[in-house]
């Protein structure tokens, strides 16, 4: 995968992960399974490790969980409730151990492993042995006060058993997981079915919804359980095993399967043992948590990003299922690219009902030899909708139909074409409704104008009611236009108009990216903004001038000139320019002119985006890969393969401190 492909994939992953995190943690709903979301996050983490220059501050990997619900009093945790990085095999575990040994080559590592309960993380605060507060994790720093609901859980002691160690701290924090057993979950759904109520999706969603009930009596009816796994308070414990022993002595339920492991081989043995008995266990689990057993070492290893270095979640493999391809239809993207999608006989995979799976392009369809009517294996691994990973040809009946890419766009009826050297087919009508809709989605997206609260559903509603036809129409909408629409009360209508007003001031590079010009990503938009300095200059640039720019070349230059010479685009652009205040980039210093920089690892004093901005502000250039022409590789913590390659090519290596001195 090259830089451009990785960038596009990362942007899609970030958008989808943020959506599903918001739906789950803020709206208290679940649209995809946790296993599928974990797979998405794992792919994002792996891509960002491979292309660290593409990591941005708004990436889901840079934060923990979601925002707390507004219905409950907010609670600030004494210490942050961090998330865990994921591993998906022994190779990942070995790599994690190697990273720890690089941090402390003399460390004598042993581990503590326990099943990863699929529930809701909570923090309990005890004062003088009495339960005073119960809070959800929330966003990791601020959670929700659910003390009344926590008190209904019989496995949560209201008073701790007296122990000598408790005299060390009058305030003690205990962390664990609220969950619901499979047996209770089935019983709840049986009663809901009798009452004609919609069934709950899975035990975790049921537990999360129950602990957030405003009516604690309803929570008490759900038979929730609590399993304790950590004591952040210092009670003299030296190992994580001792923490479990303390928790048991205090009166908490801890996992009876948890155990100390001498090395990674023992951890893998434990993992395989738990995986075999997973289905027979009373509650849902989605993997194994592995933690450095020594508490002093765990503290020494510290935190990187939003996860402790000294622990990791070893996840079970992605789930698969078989189903039938009932149809194959195409979706139209903002550039006109047509993506074939398999419409499936509904099947449950990893806790959700799946109805569609991506087929990517015609080359992939031919490789799989997938036909309409085929029985296929689908897998939720790295995509938001599952992949078709295998066809079962022995189950064919002879009635299956070969799919052919339509010759006309299914949305507008325009001819379909395939450019030489490309795998994608395109709708040739630039005014296609499908393209326009996706283009407006992109325009208001986080990386575009970042219009708060205006997403695809709102855009669809505006299009369906003929309130907009293009992005410029958004800025002419009045509150009265929105009043008759469903879900638009006076306040929400005013909020949307205000959000659009707040988005009118936009930096040139973001505006250029928001236009959705084919082949123009974030980096190219920055190059164009820096070179031309104003939108007027860029808009009237000649092909030859564009082609000569770094990161542009003939293909991108032709795409840009085609875009700005299109009459329809010109009309929309004129209106946009009239509505927006496009902020031109400041004149840059030339101190680092002609110098190229690449960043790898985690920087302590700033994000990589901040560091790249500082380089560009001094006239330097940020590149995405190590070559012999690279001037400087700036190395942070957890530096990857780029450091080794730079050393072989004798590229100059800078520490973060040296980089900052250079800037001064």
Asked if pLDDT for residue 140 goes beyond 70, the answer is yes
Asked if pLDDT for residue 262 goes beyond 80, the answer is yes
pTM for this entry = 0.46
pLDDT at residue 470, rounded to an integer: 92
Strand 303-304 with 425-427, pairing? unpaired
pLDDT at residue 259, rounded to an integer: 95
Taking only the tens place, the pLDDT of each residue in 302-355 is: 988 778 999 999 988 766 778 899 999 998 988 888 999 999 998 877 656 789
Of 7, 14, 41, 116, which one is the catalytic site residue?
116
Q: Is 536 exposed, middle or buried (0-12, 13-18, 19+ CB in 10 A)?
A: exposed
pLDDT at residue 155, rounded to an integer: 87
Instruction: Using alpha carbons, list the distances in angstroms from residue 114 to 140, 229, 230, 561.
Output: 22, 9, 12, 59
For 455-477, the three-class secondary structure string (H helix, E strand, C coil) is: CHHHHHHHHHCCCCCCHHHHHHC
pLDDT at residue 402, rounded to an integer: 95
Taking only the tens place, the pLDDT of each residue in 487-541 is: 787 778 898 999 999 999 999 999 999 999 988 988 789 889 988 999 999 999 9
Asked if pLDDT for residue 213 goes beyond 80, the answer is no
Q: Is 196 left (phi over 0), alpha (psi -120 to 50) or beta?
A: left
Taking only the tens place, the pLDDT of each residue in 605-632 is: 888 878 887 887 787 888 878 888 899 9
300 is catalytic: no
Q: Are 382 and 40 in contact (CB under 8 A)?
A: yes
Q: 553-565 and 567-579 are packed helices; what angle lies between their axes, rounded to 10 degrees?
A: 80
pLDDT at residue 26, rounded to an integer: 39
Taking only the tens place, the pLDDT of each residue in 387-399 is: 888 898 888 889 9
Q: CA 166, CA 256: separation in Å to the nearest integer?
A: 23
pLDDT at residue 214, rounded to an integer: 75
Q: Work out the average pLDDT over 144-165.
A: 86
Asked if pLDDT for residue 642 goes beyond 70, the answer is yes
Segment among 26-30, 75-79, 251-255, 265-269 with least mean pLDDT: 26-30
What domains, with CATH codes, occur in the chain?
3-62 (1.10.287.610), 74-79+114-260+281-313 (3.30.470.30), 320-418 (2.40.50.140), 433-583 (1.10.150.20), 596-663 (3.40.50.10190)
């Amino acid at each position: 995968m090259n830089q451009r492909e990785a960038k596009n994939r990362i942007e899609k992953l970030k958008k989808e992960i943020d959506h599903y995190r918001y739906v789950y943690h803020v709206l208290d709903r679940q649209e995809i399974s946790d296993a599928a979301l974990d797979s998405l996050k794992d792919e994002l983490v792996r891509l960002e490790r491979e292309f660290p220059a593409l990591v941005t501050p708004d990436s889901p990997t840079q934060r923990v969980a979601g925002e707390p619900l507004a219905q409950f009093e907010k609670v600030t945790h004494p210490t942050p409730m961090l998330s865990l990085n994921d591993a998906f095999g022994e190779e990942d575990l070995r790599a994690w151990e190697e990273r720890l040994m690089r941090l402390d080559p003399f460390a004598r590592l042993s581990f503590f492993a326990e099943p990863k309960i699929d529930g809701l993380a909570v923090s309990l605060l005890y004062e003088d042995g009495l339960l005073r507060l119960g809070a959800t994790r929330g966003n990791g720093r601020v959670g929700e006060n659910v003390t009344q609901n926590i008190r209904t859980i019989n496995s949560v002691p209201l008073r701790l058993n007296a122990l000598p160690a408790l005299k060390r701290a009058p305030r003690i924090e205990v962390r664990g997981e609220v969950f619901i057993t499979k047996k209770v979950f089935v019983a709840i759904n049986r009663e809901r079915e009798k009452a004609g109520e919609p069934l709950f999706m899975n035990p975790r969603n049921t537990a999360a919804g129950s602990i957030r009930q405003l009516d604690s009596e309803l929570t008490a009816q759900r038979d929730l359980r609590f399993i304790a796994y950590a004591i952040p308070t210092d009670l003299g414990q030296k190992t994580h095993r001792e923490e479990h022993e303390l928790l048991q002595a205090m009166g908490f339920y801890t996992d009876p399967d948890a155990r100390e492991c001498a090395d990674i081989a023992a951890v893998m043995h434990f993992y395989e043992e738990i995986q075999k008995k997973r289905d027979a266990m009373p509650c849902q689990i989605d993997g194994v948590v592995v933690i450095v057993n020594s508490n002093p070492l765990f503290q020494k290893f510290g935190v990187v990003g939003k996860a402790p270095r000294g622990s990791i979640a070893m996840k079970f493999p992605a789930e698969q299922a078989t189903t039938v391809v009932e149809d194959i239809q195409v979706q139209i993207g903002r550039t006109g690219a047509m993506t074939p999608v398999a419409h499936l006989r509904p099947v449950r995979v990893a806790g959700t009902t799946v109805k569609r799976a991506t087929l990517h392009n015609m080359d992939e369809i031919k490789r799989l030899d997938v036909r309409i009517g085929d029985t296929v294996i689908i897998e939720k691994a790295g995509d938001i909708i599952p992949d078709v990973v295998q066809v079962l040809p022995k189950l064919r009946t002879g009635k299956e139909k070969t799919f052919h890419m339509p010759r006309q766009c299914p949305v507008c009826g325009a001819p379909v074409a395939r450019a030489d050297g490309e795998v994608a087919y395109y709708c040739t009508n630039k005014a296609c409704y499908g393209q326009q809709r996706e283009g407006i989605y992109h325009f208001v997206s986080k990386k575009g104008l970042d219009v708060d609260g205006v997403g695809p559903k709102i855009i669809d509603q505006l299009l369906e009611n003929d309130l907009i036809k293009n992005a410029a129409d958004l800025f002419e909408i009045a509150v009265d236009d929105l009043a008759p629409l469903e879900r638009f009360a006076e306040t929400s209508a005013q909020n949307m108009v205000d959000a659009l007003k707040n988005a009118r001031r936009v930096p040139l590079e973001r505006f250029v990216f928001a236009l959705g010009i084919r082949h123009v990503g974030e980096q190219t938009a920055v190059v164009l903004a820096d070179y031309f300095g104003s939108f007027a200059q860029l808009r009237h640039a000649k092909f030859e001038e564009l082609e000569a720019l770094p990161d542009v070349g003939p293909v991108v230059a032709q795409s840009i000139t085609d875009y700005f010479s299109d009459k329809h685009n010109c009309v929309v652009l004129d209106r946009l320019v009239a509505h927006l205040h496009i902020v031109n980039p400041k004149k840059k210093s030339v101190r680092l002119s002609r110098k190229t920089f690449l960043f790898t690892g985690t920087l302590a004093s700033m994000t990589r985006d901040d560091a790249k901005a500082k380089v560009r502000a001094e006239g330097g250039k940020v590149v995405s890969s190590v070559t012999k022409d690279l001037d400087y590789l700036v190395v942070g913590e957890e530096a990857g393969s780029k450091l080794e390659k730079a050393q072989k090519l004798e590229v100059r290596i800078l520490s973060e401190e040296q980089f900052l001195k250079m800037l001064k």
